[in-house]
Amino acid sequence: MSDATEANGTAETAEAAAIGGLASGGAGGRHVRVVLVDDHRMFRTGVQAEIGQTATTGVEVVGEAADVDQAVTVITATRPEVVLLDVHLPGGGGVEVLRRCAALMADAEQPVRFLALSVSDAAEDVIGVIRGGARGYVTKTITGTDLVDSIFRVQEGDAVFSPRLAGFVLDAFASTDAPPVDEDLDRLTQREREVLRLIARGYAYKEIAKQLFISVKTVESHVSAVLRKLQLSNRHELTRWATARRLV
């Protein structure tokens, strides 16, 4: 065989291998089927664009949902390996999705595993979804590369957390004491709690709107509702109230 023929054969073999790698999902042949659950369509679109290039990442997005009922329907119909789950959803939140999908998580043959992906880094949100059965919790500041890695780790059964959040879980499960009920906090919706925390951290209304993918007017409405429910007068009192309860 001539050098030219051998070189051509080697090139064809390499090309065939490359094509085969793309067909099998790229990323070293890894492949995972994922459902995105988040009530912000623009955020879902951004995540899809970031991680959903299956030939490169190995992640195949097989469904999306914007609320609890949609999530349960889509997850049941598609049976993904991993669900990226927002904590705050219309219809009861991520914890309700986990509750209604408990049988799917417990399936020994084809378990559906959940990875929380949320703007919130509050201890109560992290602990709530982990107690509900999620395998990990990462915040929306995560990079696309790290998110893909986290998805595959959860698929393999690992637990994955953004660095500072792991301590919340360790502390919570090291203690047998149930957290006290805060009746004032329970009056607030999950979205109102999100806005409250960001206000307490010093965010401007425009920054909160951008962070939560809502309008400035909606932020103002949530702040007014929080002030009314907590019987407070201004954002400075809100900050003191949230700080006293370690919500910041």
Mean pLDDT of 114-118: 95
Q: Are 135 and 114 in contact (CB under 8 A)?
A: yes
pLDDT per residue as tens digits for the range 154-199: 999 998 988 778 766 666 565 545 445 567 777 888 788 888 888 8
pLDDT per residue as tens digits for the range 192-228: 888 888 888 888 899 888 888 889 999 999 999 999 9
Mean pLDDT of 134-139: 93
pLDDT class of 239 with cuts at 50, 70, 90: confident
pLDDT, position 194? 86
User: Which has more confidence, 243 or 148?
Assistant: 148
Q: Are 87 and 128 in contact (CB under 8 A)?
A: yes
pLDDT per residue as tens digits for the range 31-75: 999 999 999 999 999 999 999 888 999 999 999 999 999 999 999
Residues contacting 175, CB < 8 A, separation 6+: none
pLDDT, position 135? 92
In b/e form, how buried is each residue of 203-231, taking b as 16+ CB within 10 angstroms? bebeebbeebbbeeebbeebbebbbeebe
What does the mean pLDDT of the chain come to? 82
Return contacts of 64-67, CB within 8 angstroms, 24+ apart. Answer: 64/35, 64/36, 64/37, 65/35, 65/36, 65/37, 66/37, 66/38, 66/39, 66/41, 66/90, 67/39, 67/91
Mean pLDDT of 238-244: 82
User: Which has more confidence, 99 or 246?
Assistant: 99
Mean pLDDT of 90-100: 91
Mean pLDDT of 225-243: 87
pLDDT class of 248 with cuts at 50, 70, 90: low
Please determine, for residue 82, whether its predicted confidence score (pLDDT) is greater than 90. Answer: yes
Q: Are 32 and 84 in contact (CB under 8 A)?
A: no
pLDDT, position 59? 96
Please determine, for residue 10, whether its predicted confidence score (pLDDT) is greater than 90. Answer: no
Q: Give this prediction's pTM.
A: 0.63
Q: What string of H, E and C letters represents the secondary structure of 94-141?
A: HHHHHHHCHHHHCCCCCCCEEEEEECCCCHHHHHHHHHHCCCEEEECC
pLDDT, position 26? 52
pLDDT class of 16 with cuts at 50, 70, 90: very low
Identify the bridge partners of residue 60 per DSSP, sorted by sequence position: 33
